[in-house]
Amino acid sequence: MDPITNAHVLTDDVGFLLSRASGLFVRATNAALLSYGLRVRSYSVLLLACEAAEGVTQRDLAEVLGLDPSQVVLLVDELADSGLVERRPSDSDRRTKLVVATAAGHALRAEAVVEVGAAVSAQLADLTGTEQFLLRDLLGRLVRGNGGAFPA
């Protein structure tokens, strides 16, 4: 019997711990983003838009973020209304809209990243640098192995 999947107490269950840890990080990140008028989901969209110089397709955003395309529409709407991103038509496909960060978007991201980094850092304080790397690697493989369809 696998000792992980059948932990005899709930608090040893990987799924439970993932949920708890995720909740802690989401709350801490949202708190850090409060003054910027962002929340973790819109912040993620902004980051992806900033990372892609030529813009990102909404479908790609949905896939990377694990969201339904319909949810992405609302998040992009919100960022666009704030002037942080804009939708540009694609040359190759007129159905596709490329989400591109504006100058304001890049500027806000640069500030927000510092705050979020500090919040995340505080959450990870009990782990050594090596352990943090290890955790990231394990989580990455978990996500990439199960429907997590992003590059690299």
Partner DNA sequence: TATTGTTATACTCTATAACTATA
Partner DNA sequence: TATAGTTATAGAGTATAACAATA
Residues in the site for DNA, rule: CB under 7 A? Answer: 23, 27, 30, 39-41, 57-59, 62, 67-74, 76-77, 87, 93-98
Closer residue to a second copy (CB): 10 or 91: 10
Q: How far apart are CA 85 and CA 61, in angstroms?
A: 13
Q: How far is the CB of 94 from a second copy (least distance, A)?
A: 28
Q: How far is the CB of 36 from a second copy (least distance, A)?
A: 16
Centre a 10 Å sphere on the Cβ of residue 23 and count the other Cβ atoms it contains. Answer: 10
Closer residue to a second copy (CB): 24 or 104: 24
Per DSSP (E only), the strands in the chain are 56-57, 85-89, 97-101
7: partner contacted, choices DNA, a second copy, none (Cβ within 5-8 A by kind): a second copy
What Rg, from alpha-carbon coordinates, does the chain have? Answer: 18
Is the separation of the CB atoms in 97 and 58 below 8 Å? yes
Please report whether residue 143 would count as binding a second copy according to CB under 8 A: yes
Q: Which sign does the torsion angle of CA 19, 135, 32, 62 carry?
A: negative
Please report whether residue 92 would count as binding a second copy according to CB under 8 A: no
Structural tokens at position 64:
């990377």
Which residues here bind a second copy, judged by CB under 8 A?
2-7, 9-26, 29, 40, 44, 47-48, 51, 64-66, 113, 116-118, 120-121, 123-127, 129, 131-136, 138-143, 145-148, 150-152
